[in-house]
Structures are given as structure tokens and as C-alpha cells.
Amino acid sequence: MSQAVPSVSRHPRADTGDSPAPSAPLIEIRGVSAGYENTRNKTRLIALRDVFLDVYRGEFVAIVGPSGCGKTTLINMIAGFIKPLEGTIRVDGKIVDGPGADRAMVFQDYAVLPWRNVYRNVMFALENRHPRPPRAEAKKRISRALELVGLTGFEKSYPYELSGGMRQRVGIARALVSEPEILLMDEPFGAVDAMTREAMQAEFEKIIAETGQTVFFITHSIDEALTLADRVVMVSNRPGRVKEIIDVDLPRSRFDEEVRRSDRFGELRQHIWSQLQAEALGAKSGEDK
């Protein structure tokens, strides 16, 4: 297999030649460090250090790295749930100082309300919007979101009546119904079985192609990152830093067997794995100390 150098891009939309000037990033991460205080031991754990990253409107960016490298911390800062110790995060030019209607989160676990049926679980996202949309508009948007995730006909079902994959689709529908510009997804398919995971990946690729939303996606799966993302950001062992950014120059749909079996897919996968293998071993070594 040819070991061509992967396409590495820290400024993926830079101006070259006669091309139009690049647009401003939708998400700007500038010199961000983050950590947690341990009041019992009077120590501070640094999860991320000096992270710089731009995400452009309509991009699908996947973040991969070893456990404990700060991936979830980073996505929580973009969501506005926590604040960085140093540096700034801007969305559409504005400093992130809390959650906003322009961002919606899909969590790894099934973040559904067990006492609400599917329809009312999705409706929950609109109940927390100010101003709330009129009832007719809300009904239309909920129906559309359920159609996108393949849950039409399950509106009256309760979470205990659904499979794990279907419960996660409820969470995705709840994120879609508010029509955010940015979808923040923290291992959204990690809790489902392999077959369901691949099916949901394929559905999600179609959804994003239709909605055109910007996606910031955390995963431990290199194959998942290459299948879904426009760019893959590799994060080092804790404290996490941006180690490398790879442009995924593969045609879509990447569920085509010719694409998945192509030399280029294999080259990219091997390169990412070779970079992250050392980081994962470093993380394990650090845990043993």
C-alpha cells in the first residue's frame, strides 16, 4: 500500500491564487487551556493546554485522541457549560459566556426524560427557547425532526419501549428541532452496538448533507471520524494539545465500499492510528505512575 503523506491543513480555507478570500471561522478557539481544581488535595488537573482551532461554517470536524485528553472538556467549553482557565472561544465572532440557541448538544448516554414520550422529549428543546415558537410551528418542526431521524410513527412511545439506538435518535431529534447552527456531539453513537452504529452514521451523513449544519464531533473511532468528517483533529495525551489536523480528501458517500476499501482510506487510517497509538500508550503509562 502506498504511504503517501496525508493532507495536513491548519488553515483549510486559506486564500491561494485566484480563489476567493476565506470566510471568517464560525468557531474560533484561541490559546485555550482548561483544568479542574481538586480542593481535597489542593491540586489542579490541567486537561487542555494552549489549544488553537478554527471551525468553518458548514464543516464537519471530528476530534480524536486518547481517553482523558480533554476532548469532552473542549466540547463543553464550546457549549458554554464551563469556562476556560486561559484563552478565548468565540462563536460567530462573539465570546462564549454560556449556552446559546445557536448550539445544541448530543450526549454519549441516552439523555432522554423517561416520563415523557418521544414527541414530548423532542418538544422539551422548544419549551426552553425564548421566545417559544407558536404551537403549529412547533408541531411542524417536531414532525420534521422525527422524520429526519427515522422515528415517525413512534411519537407516543416511551423511552423504555425503544432500543438503545432509537433512544439516541430521540436525543439527535431534540438537538435538530431547535435548528441550531452548530451541533456538538460527544460520542453520540458510542453506546450502541456496531451494526446500529454504522446504520446511524449513514443516516446522520444524509441528515447533515440536507441541513448543512456545522458539526463538532468527538469520537474514539478512527473509522467513524474518516467516514463522517471533513477534517480530523488529533489531540495529544493530557494535557491535550492539537497534535495534527488532517483534511479527509475522500469522496462521499463514504459508505460506498469502494471508498472504504480504497488505498487513500487505508493511508489516512494508518497515519492517524500511528500518531494516536503513541499518545494512547503515553496516557496508559501516565495512569500507571
> Of 179, 201, 231, at which residue does a domain stop?
179
Question: Which residues are CB-contacts of 284 (< 8 A; sequence separation ≥ 6)?
Answer: none
> Of 153, 179, 205, at which residue does a domain stop?
179
Q: Are residues 97 and 200 in the same domain?
A: yes
Q: What is the phi/psi pair of residue 218, to 5°?
A: -100, 135
Q: What is the phi/psi pair of residue 131, to 5°?
A: -80, 155
pTM, whole model, 2 decimals?
Answer: 0.85
- pLDDT tens for the chain, 289 residues: list them: 445 556 655 444 333 344 444 588 999 999 999 988 777 777 778 899 999 999 999 999 999 998 888 899 999 999 999 999 999 999 999 999 999 999 999 987 778 899 999 999 999 999 877 778 889 999 999 999 999 999 999 999 999 999 988 998 999 999 999 899 999 999 888 777 788 888 889 889 999 999 999 999 999 999 999 999 999 999 998 889 999 999 999 998 888 888 989 999 999 999 999 988 877 666 555 544 3
> Of 131, 158, 179, at which residue does a domain stop?
179
Helices (H), ranges, the chain: 71-79, 118-127, 135-148, 164-177, 194-211, 222-228, 257-260, 263-288
The count of domains in the chain is 2
Q: Are residues 53 and 188 in the same domain?
A: yes
Range of the domain at 47: 1-102+181-289
Q: Are residues 163 and 230 in the same domain?
A: no
SS3 string, 134-184, reads CHHHHHHHHHHHHHHCCCCCCCCCCHHHCCHHHHHHHHHHHHHHCCCCEEE
Cα distance between residue 253 and residue 276, in whole Å? 26
Q: Are residues 189 and 281 in the same domain?
A: yes
DSSP helix/strand/coil, 239:
coil
Q: Are residues 135 and 230 in the same domain?
A: no
Q: Are residues 204 and 234 in the same domain?
A: yes
Q: What is the phi/psi pair of residue 75, to 5°?
A: -70, -30
